[in-house]
Structure 1
Amino acid sequence: MHARLNAALTALLAAALFGATTPLAKLLLGTLSPFMLAGLFYLGSGVGLGLTILARRAVRTEQAQHHESKIQKTEIPWLAGAIIAGGVAGPALLMLGLTSTPAATGSLLLNLEGVFTAIIAWVVFRENVDRQIFLGMVAIVAGGVLLSWKSGAATGLPIGALLVAGACVCWAIDNNLTRKVSTNDAMVIACLKGLVAGPVNLVIAHLLGASAPGVGQAAAAMATGFAGYGVSLVLFIVALRNLGTARTGAYFSVAPLFGVALSLALWPAMPSPLFWCAAALMAIGVWLHLRERHEHAHTHEPLQHTHRHRHDQHHQHEHDFEWDGAEPHTHPHRHAAIAHTHAHYPDIHHRHSH
Structure 2
Amino acid sequence: MKRTDSFAVILGLLAAFFFGVSTPLSKMLLQDLNPFLLAGLLYLGAGLGLSVYTLLRGGRITPPLKTLKYKYIVGMIIFGGLLGPVLLLAAVRIAPAASVSIWLNMELVATAILGHFLFKDHLDKRGWLSVGLSLAAGVLLSYSGGVAGFTAGLLVALACFSWGFDNHFTALIDDLSPVQSTIIKGLAAGTTNTLIGLALAGGMPDLPALGKALLVGFHCYGLSITFYISAAQKLGAVRSQLIFSLAPLFGVLLSVLALHEGLSAVQLVSGAMLLASVWLMLAEKHAHAHEHHEMEHTHQHAHADLHHDHHDGPQQEPHAHLHRHAAATHVHPHWPDLHHRHSH
- TM-score range (shorter-chain normalised) is 0.7 to 0.9
1:195 correspondence with 2:196: no
> How far did 1:339 drift?
2.1
Quick one: which of 266, 289, 293 aligns to 1:274?
Answer: 266
Encode CA deviations 1:13-43: one digit per residue, 9 max, x unaligned. 2121111012223456742111111111111
Question: Would the aligned equivalents of 1:39 and 1:201 in 2 still touch at CA under 8 Å?
Answer: yes
Quick one: which of 314, 337, 343 aligns to 1:347?
Answer: 337
Structure 1 residues 353 and 72, CA gap change in structure 2 (3 angstroms)? farther
Residue 300 of structure 1: aligned partner: 292
Alignment of 1:79-228 (within 5 A): 79-93=73-87, 98=91, 102-103=94-95, 107=100, 110-146=104-140, 148-149=141-142, 151=144, 153-155=146-148, 165-182=157-174, 184-228=176-220
For structure 1, which segment, 300-309 or 175-184, has the greater mean C-alpha deviation from structure 2 after superposition? Answer: 175-184
- Rounded to whole Å, the distance in 1 between the matches of 2:138 and 2:247 is 9
Residue 31 of structure 1: aligned partner: 32
Structure 1 residues 184 and 311, CA gap change in structure 2 (3 angstroms)? same
- Rounded to whole Å, the distance in 1 between the matches of 2:149 and 2:138 is 19
Residue 228 of structure 2: aligned partner: 236
Residue 248 of structure 2: aligned partner: 256
> How far did 1:318 drift?
4.0
- Rounded to whole Å, the distance in 2 between the matches of 1:88 and 1:151 is 29
Structure 2: runs of 5+ lacking an equivalent? none
Question: Would the aligned equivalents of 2:88 and 2:156 in 1 still touch at CA under 8 Å?
Answer: yes
- Rounded to whole Å, the distance in 1 between the matches of 2:263 and 2:88 is 28
Quick one: which of 333, 336, 347 aligns to 2:323?
Answer: 333
Residue 315 of structure 1: aligned partner: 308
Structure 1 residues 5 and 265, CA gap change in structure 2 (3 angstroms)? farther
Residue 72 of structure 2: aligned partner: 78
Residue 62 of structure 1: aligned partner: none
> How far did 1:156 drift?
7.3
- Give runs of ≥4 in structure 1 deviating > 6 Å: none
- Rounded to whole Å, the distance in 1 between the matches of 2:264 and 2:279 is 23
Question: Would the aligned equivalents of 2:110 and 2:160 in 1 still touch at CA under 8 Å?
Answer: yes
- Rounded to whole Å, the distance in 2 between the matches of 1:231 and 1:71 is 24
Question: Would the aligned equivalents of 2:76 and 2:165 in 1 still touch at CA under 8 Å?
Answer: yes
- Rounded to whole Å, the distance in 2 between the matches of 1:217 and 1:346 is 41
Question: Would the aligned equivalents of 1:49 and 1:187 in 2 still touch at CA under 8 Å?
Answer: yes
Question: Would the aligned equivalents of 1:122 and 1:246 in 2 still touch at CA under 8 Å?
Answer: no
Bigger radius of gyration: 1
Q: Could you tell me which amino acid in structure 2 is paired with residue 341 of structure 1?
A: V
- Rounded to whole Å, the distance in 2 between the matches of 1:164 and 1:123 is 21
Question: Would the aligned equivalents of 1:49 and 1:230 in 2 still touch at CA under 8 Å?
Answer: yes
> How far did 1:169 drift?
2.6
Question: Would the aligned equivalents of 2:143 and 2:149 in 1 still touch at CA under 8 Å?
Answer: no
Encode CA deviations 1:41-78: one digit per residue, 9 max, x unaligned. 111011001111112226xxxxxx7xx96565451221
Residue 4 of structure 2: aligned partner: 3
Give the RMSD, CA atoms, in angstroms. 3.1
Structure 1 residues 231 and 261, CA gap change in structure 2 (3 angstroms)? same
Structure 1 residues 264 and 89, CA gap change in structure 2 (3 angstroms)? closer
Question: Would the aligned equivalents of 1:310 and 1:327 in 2 still touch at CA under 8 Å?
Answer: yes
Question: Would the aligned equivalents of 1:183 and 1:241 in 2 still touch at CA under 8 Å?
Answer: no
- Rounded to whole Å, the distance in 2 between the matches of 1:12 and 1:186 is 16
Identity %: 40
- Rounded to whole Å, the distance in 1 between the matches of 2:246 and 2:173 is 24
Structure 1 residues 325 and 291, CA gap change in structure 2 (3 angstroms)? closer
- Rounded to whole Å, the distance in 2 between the matches of 1:324 and 1:318 is 7
Structure 1: runs of 5+ lacking an equivalent? 59-64
- Rounded to whole Å, the distance in 1 between the matches of 2:177 and 2:193 is 25
Q: State how many pairs are aligned.
A: 339
Residue 13 of structure 2: aligned partner: 12
SS of match in other structure, 1:154: helix
